[in-house]
Structure formats: structure tokens, C-alpha cells
Amino acid sequence: MAIVLGENRYGKAENRLFRVTRKGDVHEILDLNVSVSLSGDFADTHLTGDNAKVLPTDTQKNTVFALSHRLGPLEPEAFGIELARHFISTQRHVDGAEIRIEQFPWRRIECTGTPHPRAFLREGAHVRTAMVHATRAGEGFDAAVTSGVEGLVVLKTGDSAFRGFLRDEFTTLKEADDRIMATEVAAQWRWLERDPAMLGTVDWAESHRAAMDALVWTFAEHRSLSLQQTLHAMGEAVLDSRADLSAVRLRLPNKHHFVVDLDAFGIRNENEVHIAADRPYGVIEGVLQRDDAPLPPSAWPEW
């Protein structure tokens, strides 16, 4: 059995791009973390160290900053499509380009209610994400686009139960009628459209706001019988928010908050004082999808 080169890719990760756009005295900012990864005909450098087809990752870094200047303050998904277009259109041996972008949220500082034109506060621990998985297709390319959010921490103190679960020899958990439910949402939603020209009309910012509202509101208002059921409701709400999404994937860790047993001290603690636990934690993962949505292009699998 000969040993052969299989899947491979390379690129420059975590280019920390910060843009300022001046509209007179009012400035707008865009704070991104951009990662590029290219795949294609790169066997030579692997096999012999011949780098004739290798666009250095240093060049990729320069490209991120130079194209950002040329293109202006694009939304992350749109910037990702343009970066992919650049690499696929200028490098004939590149078949695929994956652009991952994190956007850090900021809001204007308000001094006694007035938004400041040039001062900002980092808002939230979450990041907005965008992924463009571009594949060469004829003279152009196919752009599988995913939008998402990571690190969105939410918690509810009511409307969450967990009962009627399966029991085996190792089960000691008690049923809960009213428990704290807390999670750190990681969500990604896929776009049906893959034609870069057609994707040019999407309002990425507005759709992101709508998906965030769908996630957060559903989490808040859902009467939960299990975290799985809440995941399902949250995913449905995202898909319901726009007809042009094909699927949504959620990863919801169950961040346990245990009621502290104070009986030994004569204190009856009725769901009032809890300890927030670190590890272990539960993890619920699931995909909601439209039943006739076309399959996504193959992606780098988990090993």
C-alpha cells in the first residue's frame, strides 16, 4: 500500500483587520479577524519542496489588507466572497478558498444619551462569524456561505424542566421541574444561494440581526422540556426568519448551575443559591434543515 497525499490546504490565519471609515466627523469602525485557507494543486511543495505554485501566506496577509482598502467596509460575508474571488480568479491552480471571518461587536459610547461620533465600547463577549467556502466552477466559482455567532451566553431562571428521562444502573439524577438553563450559543446558518452574483443582493447585516433576534427570543420564550427541544425551536426560528436559508447548526453546551445543598446548616435552599460549575458540562448539537435543500459541498471533516 503506497502512501499518498490526501486532502490538504494552507493559508494565513487570524489577520486582525481594523477599519475606520470617516463620514465627516462621524467615524464608523469594522473589527475583523480574517483567516484564509487555499486548496488546489499543491502536491509539488509537499513532495519535493518546489514552491512554484505556493502563494506565500505572507502574500495572503497583504492581500487581506490591500483588498480591504480597495473594497471599502464590506460586511464579513461580502468581504469573504471577494477574497475568495481574488484567489480563485488570479491563481489558476487554486480550486478552493475558505475564508473565515470573525467580527467583534462594538457600540458607540453614549454620553448622557448622545452617541459619540468617534468613541466606542466593546459590546458583549460574542462574535459574529462568516464562512465562505468557494469552489472553482467553470469560469467562476460556487460560494457556499455560512453566517453565525459564537460565544453568545444566555440564561433563564424559569420555564425549563427535565423529566421522564431514561434510567439505567448509573442514573442518579433527580427530575427537575424548574431548573436554570444556561448556554453559550454557537450557531451557523447556511445560505441556499451559491451564485456570487446573486449573493450580492443579500442584506447581511439585517439578516444577522434577524437571526440573532430569533435565537435570543426563542431561547427566552420557549417552555423547555429538554435542551434538545430548545435547540430545535431556536433552529426553526432562524430558518423561519428567512426563506433563503437552507440549514442551521447549533451547538449548545449545558452550563450547569447546581442548587447548593445547605440542609446540613438547617437552611432550606429552594432554587435560590446555586453554584455555577465549570466541568464537566453537557453538549447538545443538532442541525435543522429544509428537506429538499441541496447538499453542501464536502468540507473538512472532524477526525
Instruction: Please report, as residue ranges, which positions from 162 to 221 form the binding site for a second copy (by CB under 8 A).
Output: 162-173, 180, 188, 190, 216-217, 219-221
Contact 253, 283 (CB under 8 A): yes
> Which residue of the set 27, 57, 156, 232 is catalytic?
57
Taking the least distance from each CB to a second copy, the nearer of 88 and 131 is 131
CB of 138 to a second copy, least distance (A): 23
Amino acid identity at 236: E
| # binding residues, a second copy (CB under 8 A) | 150
> Which residue of the set 61, 86, 126, 256 is catalytic?
256
Interaction mask 37-76, a second copy, x per CB under 8 A: x----x--xxxxxxxxxxxxxxx-xxx-xx-xxx------
Contact 103, 19 (CB under 8 A): no
Q: Which of residues 239-298 bind a second copy (CB under 8 A)?
A: 239-240, 247, 249, 253-254, 257, 260, 262, 264-265, 267, 269, 271-293, 296, 298
Secondary structure letter of residue 248 according to DSSP: E
State the residue for C-alpha cell 435565537: 215
Among this protein's residues, is 256 annotated catalytic?
Answer: yes
Q: Which of residues 83-142 bind a second copy (CB under 8 A)?
A: 90-91, 106, 109, 111-112, 116-125, 131
Considering only the stretches 18-26, 76-84, 135-143, 197-205, report the one whose residues sit in contact with a second copy under the rule CB under 8 A.
18-26
Q: What is the DSSP annotation of 173-214?
A: PPPBSS--EEEEEEEEEEES---HHHHTT--HHHHHHHHHHH
Cβ count near 221 (within 10 Å): 11
**Bridge partners, residue 127, by sequence:** 150
Taking the least distance from each CB to a second copy, the nearer of 124 and 140 is 124
State the residue for C-alpha cell 427535565: 162
Taking the least distance from each CB to a second copy, the nearer of 123 and 195 is 123
In degrees and rounded to multiples of 5, residue 243 shows phi and psi of: -75, -15
Cβ count near 94 (within 10 Å): 21
Catalytic residues: 12, 57, 256
